[in-house]
A = this chain, B = another copy of it.
Amino acid sequence: MKAACYIEKERIEIKDREPVAPAADEVRVKVSYCGICGTDMHIYHGAMDKRLTPPQSIGHEASGVVDTVGSDVTHLKPGQKVVVMPLDWCGECPSCRDGLTHICHKLKFLGIDTEGAFQNYWTLPARAVLPVPDDMDLKTAALIEPLAVALHDLRRGAVKRGDFVAVIGGGPIGALIALAAKERGARVVVSELNEHRLAMFAEFGIETLNPSRDDVVAAVKSMTGGRGADVVFEVSAHPAGLETAVKLPCNRGKIVVVGIFSQPPQISLFDFFWRELELYGARVYEKEDYLEAIDLACKKVLPLDKLISAVYPLDKLVDGIQKLQEGGKVMKVLIDCQEENN
């Protein structure tokens, strides 16, 4: 079989490998599609070398079909359509004992700390493999992982019907947050620079602001009758986005930090004092977010398919990464990992 393996900074190679036989508590999934995540781009640029073991396949936003199950696996059978929740937790640390297995002190993220999905067959812990209905489109299913991220973010921000929600940064995660919040009955505005993405949001019936021409703080104030937003999602990972995010919430409003700030930014804690703001860190998802994401994808109420800008074969993974980096008319890029297409 073929596997797209990270070798070193800016070098990914297609390797011929033997599919791995599953252990008793593992499953081998025949991968269908896997989205390219921002994390994969960081890996490609050598920013996460400490966590990888090259040559190593990466990728974690996967859909597929069960190929073989280990002897102890009872909840899955060959031929079943599945998605992967790419987490492997220890079950013993203080966080796991607190029920927070998704932020386990020793968490392994599948496709970063282990082999990933950019290969024809992926062998992984069975508890990470979740069934989806037979009639689910497997391209759409590859968006369940980022949708679970978005739903986890919404849960961290306790978004509810009638809330005013502002999303700073309208990439794939920002888009899924906006769409899911709108579906939940919130009024949503997205602040984004990319005109292609702004047009997509308009098509989805979501209000937009462009910080290059709009005063985002004044606009949100005006849209909310001076009150401010109930929940703000900072998805840009940019200090300017964070600065705006802190100005938008209403008194006792929430900011969910979704973008990853590798360096400590400055933040106006005076605003937190003056308006009793709240800030919530958010990381990946819990199983309930995943089950909700599967359910929401099944209901077909979100235009998930419209977020897919392009699909590349496995040996064009680097082209897909470059497509995303170029920006412009792109939202989500999938890799077709199916043996018969590669």
Contacts and interface: CB of A to CB of B under 8 A. Distances in A.
Interface of A: 93-95, 98, 100, 103, 105, 156, 224-228, 242, 250-252, 257, 260-262, 264-283
23 contacts: A93-B226, A94-B227, A94-B228, A95-B227, A95-B251, A100-B252, A103-B252, A257-B272, A257-B273, A260-B270, A260-B273, A261-B269, A261-B273, A264-B269, A264-B270, A266-B267, A267-B267, A269-B281, A271-B281, A274-B281, A278-B278, A278-B280, A279-B279
Nearest to A258: B273
Contact of A262 (B225, B270, B279): B270
B276 A279 contact: no
- Give the number of times this chain occurs in the complex, counting copies: 2
A272 B271 CA distance: 18
B276 A283 contact: yes
A103 B261 contact: no
B272 A279 contact: yes
A65 to B, nearest CB: 33
A156 B252 CA distance: 10
Given A98-B252, A105-B251, 9 more contacts: A94-B225, A156-B276, A257-B273, A260-B270, A261-B270, A264-B266, A265-B269, A275-B281, A278-B281
A267 B265 contact: yes
Nearest to A269: B261
Given A103-B276, A273-B260, A94 B250 contact: yes
Contacts of A264: 266-270
Contacts of A278: 278-281
Nearest to A95: B251
Contacts of A226: 93-94, 105
